[in-house]
Amino acid sequence: MASPIDLARNVAGFDPDAIQHMKRLFRTWNLLADLALADVLLLAPVAAEGDESFVVLANVRPSTAPTLYGHDPLGDRHRPENRHLVAEAWESGTICSGNVELGPHFPEGQAEISASPFQLDGRRLGVVLLERRTRNRDLLQLERTYISLAQRLTQMICDGRFPFIGADEPQYGAPRVGDGVLVLDDDRRVTFQSPNGVSALHRLGIHRNAVGRRLSEIGLDDSFIRTSYALEKAVTQELERGEGVTVTSRCVPLISDGKIDGSFILVRDVSELKRRDRLLLSKDATIREIHHRVKNNLQTISSLLRLQARRVTSQDGKDALEESVRRVAAIAIVHETLANDASDDASGDDAPFLDVAKPLIRLIEEGLQSPEKPIQFRLVGDAGRLPLIRSMPLAVILTELLQNVVDHAFPPHISPDEGRIVTVGFERDGSELAVTVSDNGVGPPEDFDFAEARGLGLTLVHTFVTTELGGSITMRRGDGPDANPGTSTQLQFSRNWEDRVSGPVIDG
């Protein structure tokens, strides 16, 4: 089934601005459905020439009343004569209301319908349809208040004033109607408070009757209400009492004839969510501190290895210790990246691998190549975020491959004027990641077999690819000229440990 965005773009012909405004409605119309005690649907005319029907782009069910829909109406098409109120609202640009018969499956028999044009900058995009089952009883004061607020919002939709453009997004999501509601007049005085609204105030230590008073008069900061009135859009504020109580308050202004003549506040106790958030932040900080300390310990090990290398007289011993220093440094870079990653989606156990690859390449540039043997390193593509269990072995693998290139790809007889280029490329395909290290050097011998390589560096690469990454690796001669065909090494593995391939594959 097509998504609402696909239907809007491909069936209703929405442009990017219209789709963006539709998304704003989707972020707020749970509020409308709960206040109206009604199912809310967004319909738009089909854009195809000669087709006069309306298509349902999306719908939302109320949490405060039963729904009229046992099926998902997304994508349903309706002729104008079958949805005459929708057609009238679309043609007239005004709200059209009425009652319709529901049929034998609904004992109440009728539903109250309200259809409002959905507009952006005076341009009609579709119709917002509210469908509420008729009740055979008098409505409670709470229900009457909710429906009255829904009617105000529906008129604002018709006027193009709702949903608000540029309204803030609450950290824990916008409060729902059932969390608690306070209704204010144009002088910011409370005229109604729902039972859950009273409970939320009690959580903040406010036990006085708020009706007839401003929030500032009962001991609460009402600056967010003044801001909401000044900006003419919804504004959210967290109200705290002590260390254990946090209530999110969201002021929604009601605009009529171009001016604000009231508002309502949704209140939600988020104390437990806040406590969990603080706990997660504390755990995240602890994990980062651990990574930082591991990095420091690895740097200490590197320093000890360098001291040992100075006391070794054998050149082979010195070289072996220097290689060990680089391997330890590669692992330290991963921990340093995890310790310093401050992006919004950081988890403490994963980080953008480019932030690891770049310092790794600098490590090779500064530690291995010389002015007489300059090499240009290039980085192409993006590996995305990788967990520690992936980034650690991959960092060691890249270090070994790059060191191998520097040691063997460009012997002295290759002139620097010919250009010595090494490219590290990343390519993602779903959960799969391909990593390629290629150069324009002399290439491996014709009879080279990677699976039979006995050098420590390539043995480590072999081990890490097959056991730690559970992936495949190929190393082959490149496609350059006979003198400098180059070498191309490609690794392929799943970015997620759970999705690793069952058996490693090695190609020579």
pLDDT digit string, tens, across residues 384-432: 888 888 888 888 888 888 888 888 888 766 655 567 888 999 998 888 8
Asked whether residue 468 carries a pLDDT value surpassing 80, the answer given is: yes
User: For helices 388-408 and 354-367, what crossing angle results, to 10°?
Assistant: 30
Which pLDDT score, from 0 to 100, does residue 174 have? 77
The pLDDT value given to residue 409: 81
Q: How confident is the model at residue 259 (pLDDT cuts 50, 70, 90)?
A: very high
Mean pLDDT of 375-389: 87
Is the pLDDT at 61 greater than 60? The verdict is: yes
- Position 503 confidence tier, pLDDT thresholds 50, 70, 90: very low
Residue 136 pLDDT > 80, yes or no? no
Which CATH number, 3.30.565.10, 3.30.420.40, 3.40.50.261, 3.90.1560.10, labels domain 274-507? 3.30.565.10
Contact 42, 58 (CB under 8 A): yes
- Specify which of 114-123, 282-291, 315-324, 393-402 reaches the highest per-range mean pLDDT: 114-123
Would the pLDDT of 188 be above 90?
Answer: yes
Contact 203, 180 (CB under 8 A): no
Residue 359 has pLDDT above 90, yes or no: no
Going by pLDDT thresholds of 50, 70 and 90, the confidence category of residue 295 is confident
- Two tokens, residue 257: 């004839």
DSSP 468: I
Q: What is the mean pLDDT of the chain?
A: 85
CB atoms closer than 10 angstroms to residue 23 = 13
Q: Is 391 helix (H, G, I), strand (E, B) or coil?
A: helix
Return the CATH number of the domain spanning residue range 4-158: 3.30.450.280
Binned at pLDDT 50, 70 and 90, residue 502 comes out as: very low
> What fold is seen in the domain 177-269?
Beta-Lactamase (3.30.450)
Contact 42, 128 (CB under 8 A): yes
Residue 297 pLDDT greater than 80, yes or no: yes
Residue 487 and residue 474: Cα distance in Å, rounded? 10
Query: Which residues 6+ apart lie within 8 Å of 137 measured at CB?
Result: none
Tokens found for residue 306: 């360098």
Q: Is the pLDDT of residue 133 over 90?
A: no
Q: In b/e form, how buried is each residue of 404-431, taking b as 16+ CB within 10 angstroms?
A: bbbebbbeeebeeeeebbbbbbbeeeee
239 DSSP β-pair partners: 247
Q: Three-class SS of residue 376? A: strand
Domain ranges of the chain: 4-158, 177-269, 274-507
Q: Which of 381, 376, 379, 435 is nearest to 409 (CA)?
A: 376
State the Cα angle at 374 between 368 and 375, rounded to 5°. 80
Read off the pLDDT of each residue in 287-310 and give the average, rounded to a whole number: 81
Q: Which SS3 state, helix, strand or coil, does residue 288 take?
A: helix
Cα 200 to Cα 455: distance, rounded to the nearest angstrom: 69
In this chain, the answer to whether the domains covering 177-269 and 274-507 adopt an identical fold is no
Alpha-carbon distance of 473 to 489, in angstroms, equals 7
Looking at 106-244, which runs of residues are DSSP E strands? 110-120, 123-133, 181-185, 190-193, 235-241
pLDDT at 506: 43
What integer is the mean pLDDT of 370-392? 83
**Does position 224 have pLDDT exceeding 80, yes or no?**
yes
